[in-house]
Amino acid sequence: MKRNYKKDFTLLALLLIPIGVAINFVGFQVAQVLRLPIFLDTIGTILVGVIAGPLVAIVAAFITNSITAIFNPIYFPYVITSMAIGLGAGLLSKYGMFRTIYKAIISGLIITAIAVIASAPITVLFFGGATGNTSSAITATFLAMGQNIWSAVFTSTIITEIADKVISVLFVYFIVKSMSDRYLSKMKYGHLYMKKSNRNK
Amino acid sequence: MKNSLVNLYPLTKFYFALFIAATVIIVPNYVFAFAWFPVLVLIAVAAGVAKSFLSFILKTLVILLVIVFLMQLFFYPGEEVLASWWIFEISREGLNYGLTLTSRILAIGSAFILFFRIVEVKDFVKSLEDAGMPSAGAYVVLSTLQIIPEMRRQSNTIMEAQKTRGVETEGSIITRAKAFFPTLTPLILSSIASTEERAITLEARAFSAPGKKTSLHKLTKRPIDRVLPWIYIIIVIGLIIWRVF
């Protein structure tokens, strides 16, 4: 394990981390400017996971949420969610789950499931079910309909996460497709997405 | 007063924030957790950051606290009904749980907000590096902080450029969603391409060379920075013992 961990963090992988974190921030900002109803704030983490592997993505996720915490500490507990997303994206990539668009959509659904499982307990335990964004309103509606807190939060998280994660994953799929073979060849899972190796298979 | 507070070692301040988080979780009483807030305000006043501290709390925490509180008040299951109106019921348990939860969020949230008001991120990262974080890690964190505003500017430029080319950024949700891709794709691809150049530059400066690196940025630890963490630990252990027995 120790040797693997060193091997994952090549200099190029290290330099990809700040870019990945910045993509998370910029993606969120552009989604806000365009007034899209989703966050798109994990694109960078997923991208790093897909080309540089789960460990690098976990670090990128940790840094993303730590920097968010400087501006708003409320979001720090969700570092667990982001790290789980990074881990999931890295492992899915290892098994070639981002190589075709259909597999990418399935990966998007799996990452949605990971995000929901990792974030719903945080929302319930830390904030009693409310975080002040749109999903709180949905949660409150379910609660008023008589559901218990857990099923209300799970349902509202699934509703808000599914479009977000599937679109993020598809976006990453197209980005990776347009990367040069020269760059991909230097990344851990890059060989999976190089055009040449795809043609041979 | 101001200087002795601000001059504390960054990690000492960080441990203080963690200490507050630990105590409000151990002590189940919401009066105790709420009591931390005036203490933090006093520290902020003493450190000369009261204004930015309070405005930050107003912007980030207050709305959340109100929502969290109302949610518990109306929906937390409880037997003892204090008041009821239409489909809503206020129970004593809900009121208690709402106060407990909001007091904890307020204490922990404001502790960390205060921490980042009185500590420069640069100093904090340096202190982590001194405590054993790899220097490559410190570089990654600090360069991230520089890259984010730079990429934000670039994304605005790209967005303006794409508007000029005729990409619609107003209108129906589908139109706006379509504008997302031409804005972000060139930004991501060009920033990733730039990492290769940066790697060459860093290698030319012996970035991955083994051996200890010297730094121009130095932090000093004073005796009080060695004593305070132990005081926090002793109090936390004391509280745990008090809670268990």
How confident is the model over B95-122, as pLDDT tens digits?
888 899 999 999 999 999 999 999 999 9
Taking only residues 60 to 79 of chain A, the set having a beta carbon closer than 8 angstroms to any beta carbon of chain B reads: 63, 66-67, 69-74, 76
ipTM confidence: 0.88
On the question of pLDDT at B2 being above 80, the answer is no
Name the least confident of B74-83, B197-206, B219-228.
Answer: B74-83
User: CB of B175 within 8 A of CB of A34?
Assistant: no
Give the chain B residue whose CA is nearest to the CA of A47: B188
Q: What is the pTM of this model?
A: 0.91
pLDDT surpasses 70 at B210: yes
pLDDT score at B207:
85
Q: Which residue has the tokens 């305000």?
A: B41
Closest CB to B63 among A15, A132, A144: A132
What values do phi and psi take at A8, rounded to 5? -70, -30
Interface residue of B144, B159, B173, B176 to substitute, partner A, most A CBs within 10 Å: B144
pLDDT of residue B86: 67
Q: What is the pLDDT of residue A3?
A: 55
Report yes or no: B46 at the A interface, CB cutoff 8 Å.
no
Q: Report which of residues B240 and A141 the model is more confident about.
A: B240
User: How close A19 gets to chain B, by Cα (Å)?
Assistant: 7
pLDDT per residue of chain A (201 residues) written in tens, 0 to 9: 455 667 888 899 999 999 999 999 999 999 989 988 888 999 999 999 999 999 999 999 999 999 998 888 888 999 999 999 999 999 999 999 999 999 999 999 999 999 999 999 998 888 887 776 667 778 888 887 878 888 888 988 898 899 999 999 999 999 999 998 989 999 999 989 988 655 554
Q: Could you read off the pLDDT of B107-165 as tens digits, one per residue? A: 999 999 999 999 999 999 999 988 888 888 899 999 999 999 999 999 999 999 999 99
Per-residue confidence (pLDDT) for residue A55, from 0 to 100: 94
CB A28 within 8 A of CB A82: no
Helix, strand, or coil (residue B33): helix
Residues in A 109-138 with any Cβ partner in B closer than 8 A? 126-132, 136
B147 vs A: CB within 8 A? yes
| Contact call for residues B10 and B119 (beta carbons, < 8 A) | yes
The confidence score (pLDDT) of residue A135 equals 73
Cα A47 from Cα A118, distance rounded (Å) = 19
